[in-house]
Structure 1
Amino acid sequence: MKYLYIILLFPFILSNCSSDTNENPNPVNEQMYFPPIDGSNTWETKSISSLNWNQNAVQPLLTYLEEKHTKSFMILVNGRIVMENYFNGHTASSNHYWASAGKTLTATISGIAEQEGLININNKVSDYLGTGWTSAPIAKENLITCKNLLSMNSGLNDALGDNVSPANLQYVADAGTRWAYHNVYVKMQDVVAQASGQTWNAYFNAKLRDKIGMNGFWFNSLTNGDLSVYTSTTRSMARFGLLNLNKGKWESNQILNENYFTQATNTSQNINLAYGYLWWLNGKSSYHLPQSQFQFNGSLIPNAPNDMFMALGRDDQKIYVIPSKKMVVIRMGDAADEQNFALSGFDNELWGKINALIQ
C-alpha cells in the first residue's frame, strides 16, 4: 500500500515542482512582460533551465565576453531577464555611451514626431532647417529629404569626418543614388527640435525616455558639429530593445505607430539592403559596410537569426532584437578586438556562443 501511495502522489509532486508561473519551455507563447517605469529596480527573471537552454554553454560565453572587453551583457526573453552580467568594474548603475547604436533613438523620435503631425519624413530637410544647412548647391541640397537622412543616402560626402557643420557637408551625388554611413543623420534632431518648438532633449525625454522608464542623457561629442550621443545604464538600453521587440508598444501604450516601425526595420532603399531607418538588418542577400562602397553578398551576421534587426555602435555597442525568439540581447563595452565603426567579426563570433546556449 505504501508503494501505491507514492505512485499516486508522484504526479502531484511533479506538477507542483514545475508550477512557477515563469517556467514555460515555449517562450513564443508566453505573455510579454514589461518592467515598471516607476524608477524601482523590479524586473522579472526567467531561468535558463526553464527555457531548456544549454547550461554548459553559459561559462564559455561569459569567459568569452570578459576576454573581449565587455562591460555588460543581457538577454531578455519575452521581456524577462535570463542573463544579466557585468564585467571589469562595470555595474548595473554604471552609464556607458551607446555610440552609433543610439542612431535608432533618433529614428524612433523622428517617427513619433511624424505621427504627431510635426514633420513628414518625405519632405526636404530644408523645409525645417532652411537652406544653407549644407555647402551643396541649393538645387542639390533641396533633393535631400528627412527619409534620406534616416536611410543614409543623402549623397553628402562621408569622407570628411564627423563634423556636421555646413562647410563639412559637401555634395558627392544626388540624394537617393548613393548609400554611405554618415553622421549627417544627427540633423534629424535639429529637424525635430525646430518642428516641435522644444529642445531635442526635452522632446526625447517626454516622448520616449520617460514613457518606458529609461534613464540616461545626451551629450555632445564634438566641439564643432554638435554630434549628440546617448549614454545610459544597460537596463535602459534593454528597455529600448524591448519596446522595439513589441513593435513600438509598451504594455497598452503604442508609443511609436506600427506602420513607421515596420518601415524603419525593413530595407529603406535599394542600395544597402541591410539598412532600414538607422537600424541594421540581418538575413538580407547583400549588404554594405561603413566607409565602403563595396557590396558584400550574403547575410550580415551568418550565425544570427535572419529576422534579427540591430542597433550597432562603435566599439561593439549592441542591441540585437530577434522577433522569432522573442529575444533582446544587449552588449556594452570597449571594442572586442580593435576600434570599429559599427560592425566587426565579433558579432558573428558572439552569435556562435549564443547559439551554443540557446539551441
Structure 2
Amino acid sequence: MLQVRIRYGFWWWGWSLFGQGLYFPPVGDTTWARISPAALGWCQPALDSLLDFVGSTRTKAFLILQNGRLVVEAYFGGFGRDSLWYWASAGKTLTAFLIGKAQEEGYLRLTDTTSRFLGVGWTSCPPEKERLITLWHQLTMTSGLSDQGPNPDCTDPACLTCLADAGTRWAYHNAPYTLLHAVLEQATGLSTQAYYATRVGNRIGMRGLWVPLGYNKVFFSDARSMARFGLLLLAKGVWNGDTLLRDTAYFFQMTHPSQALNPSYGYLTWLNGQSAFMVPGVQAVFPGPLTPSAPPDLYAAIGKNAQVLCVVPSQRLVLVRLGEAPDSGDAVLIRYVEELWQRLSRVFCSAAGLSRPSDSPAWRVEVDPLSRKVQVFWALWPGTRLRLEGLDRMGRTVWHWEGYLKEEGQPVVWPAENLPAGLYGLRGEAPGLVFTTRFFLP
C-alpha cells in the first residue's frame, strides 16, 4: 500500500523569539532588557508605518514586549516613561485577577450571592430576583440588571433594576462591575488599593493607584506598569518564580469563554478567536472573532478611549496602548484594536507562524493522511527533555506530551485520528529552544 506523508517545516518568528525563556524586569528598578525589531526579523518600514498610525490617533504611550523584553517603547505629546494615565475599563481585568486571588485566599467564592457582602436591598429588584445574582454574574456581565438607565455607572439601589434573571442576558454594565470593589473590600477587610498593592503591585514592581471618580473606581499607572501586568498574565500569574495566583482553573476561566451568551468574554476580559461576539450598548450578536487580524488566542483588557492591553500567549507578546480617544465609534473601541492588528501583522514580515514557512535541520513534522498520525522528528541528543502541546485553530490544547527523547531519529507521535480535519498548531519546548508550527490535518 502506498503511503503519502506530508511534511511541514516550522514557521519561525526568528531564533531570538523562541530561543529564550520569559524575561522579567527587576522589581524596584528601571532596568528593562530590550531586543531590537531587526533581531526578530521585523520589517522596519512597516513598523515605522504602525508608529505613524499610533501617533496620529492621539496615543500617549505604545509598548510591545516580546518574551518580556521591550521591542517598542514610544511616547507622544509630552507623555513620558513616568507619566500616569487611566486604564478605564482595562482595569476590569486587574479587578478580575484580584477577585481570583481573594477566592484563592478563602475570602469569597464566585458562587456567593452579592447580597452576602452588600446586604439585602443593594438593588431595587424583588428580593427573590436579587438573591439570584452572584459574584460570578458580576464577573461575566450577566447580572440581569438593566443597563438602559440614564447613568449606567450609578451604583445606588434606585439605579439597579432587574431586566432579566441573572445568567440569562449579557450586557456590558459598569455598575455591577464597580460593586465588585465593595465586595472585595467587605470580604478582605482591606481597601482595593491595599489588597492590590500587597497581592500584585508590590510583588511585580507596578506603580499604580485606584482612584474614586464619581461612582467608579479607576486605576491609574504608567505604561510600563501596565506592561508588567500584561507580562504577569502572559506567565499565567507567576512572576519570575513567584506565584501570585495558584488557582490555575480560575485563570483559565478568566481568559476563556465564561458563558455562551457572549463567547468572546471571560472574567472581565475580552477574548479573540471565538465564533461570535457582542459589544457594549448593543444586544446584537455578531458572527466571527473579535479581532480577525490578530492571533486567535489573544485576550485583552480594553477601556474607554482605547486603553488597551493585549496578551498573545502563542507569540509571547504583550501590547500596551494608552491615550486619548482615536477616531473610532465602538464604546470600548474593538474596531481600533482590529486596526492596530491589521498594521501590526504587516510588521512580522519574516515571522514564522504569520507569513512564510522555513525548514530547519533540527526537526520536522510529518502527517500521515491515511493513519492521521502526526509525527515529530528530531535531531537532538537522546535524553533531551521535551514538552509538546497540540492546539486546535482556537488555540485550545487538544494534546500534550512531556518526556525524554529515547533515540535519535525516533519520532514523538501525536495520535490525531479522532480529531476533525482542519488547521492545527504545535508548540514545543526543549532546553534553550522554543518552537511553533501550524499544519493541516486532512
* In structure 1, distance between residues paired with 2:77 and 2:42: 26
Q: Deviations over 1:64-88 (max 9, x none)?
A: 1111111110000111000000011
Matched, 1:44 2:33: yes
SS in 1 for 2:249: helix
Q: Is the 8 A contact 1:24 1:30 kept in 2?
A: no
- Structure with the higher strand share, 1 or 2: 2
Paired residues for 1:88-167 under 5 Å: 88-160=77-149, 161=151, 162-167=153-158
SS of 2:15's partner is coil
**TM-score when scaled to structure 1?**
0.90
Partner of 1:203: 195
**Which residue of structure 2 aligns with residue 12 of structure 1?**
none
CA distance in 1, matches of 2:334, 2:228: 24
Higher helix residue share: 1
Deviation digits for residues 305-335 of structure 1, max 9, x if unmatched? 1000000000011000000000000000111
Kindly indicate whether the alpha-carbon contact (under 8 Å) linking 2:144 and 2:165 is maintained by their aligned counterparts in 1: yes
Cα pair 2:63 2:73 within 8 Å, conserved:
yes
- Output the CA distance in 2 between the equivalents of 1:24 and 1:251: 24
Q: Per-residue deviation at 1:29?
A: 3.9
Task: Answer yes or no: is the 8 Å Cα contact 2:110–2:134 preserved in 1.
Answer: yes
* 2:167 pairs with 1:181: no
Cα 1:29–1:262, aligned 2, differ >3 Å: closer, same or farther? farther
Q: Deviations over 1:68-119 (max 9, x none)?
A: 1111100001110000000111111110100000001110000000000110
Given that 1:106 and 1:186 are in contact with CA atoms closer than 8 Å, whether structure 2 keeps it comes out as no
Corresponding residue pairs, total? 333
The percent of aligned pairs where both chains have the same amino acid is: 43
Is the Cα contact below 8 Å between 2:14 and 2:41 reproduced in 1?
no
Counterpart residue number, 1:72? 61
Unpaired runs of 5+ in structure 2?
A: 1-12, 350-442
Tell me, in whole angstroms, the C-alpha distance in 2 between the residues paired with 1:251 and 1:259: 20
Amino acid at match of 2:83: S
Runs (4+) of structure 1 exceeding 4 A deviation are none
Q: State the distance in 1 between where 2:282 and 2:194 align.
A: 35
Counterpart position of 2:52 = 63
| C-alpha contact 2:265 2:271 (8 A) present in aligned 1 | yes
Matched with 1:308 is 298
Residue number among 316, 325, 345 corresponding to 1:326 in the alignment? 316
Matching residue within 53, 73, 90 for 1:84: 73
| Residues 309 and 321 in structure 1, CA contact (< 8 A), matched pair in contact too | yes
How far apart in 1 are the matches of 2:71 and 2:265?
Answer: 29
| Cα distance in 1, alignment partners of residues 78 and 63 from structure 2 | 16
Counterpart-to-counterpart distance in 2, 1:26 and 1:92: 26
Alignment partner, residue 332 of structure 2: 342
Q: 1: distance between equivalents of 2:281 and 2:316?
A: 32
Letter of the 2:165 counterpart: D
**What is the DSSP-based 3-state SS (H/G/I as helix, E as strand, rest coil) of the residue aligned with 1:210?**
helix
> Shift in Å at residue 26 of structure 1?
4.7
- Alpha-carbon RMSD across the aligned residues, in angstroms, is 1.3
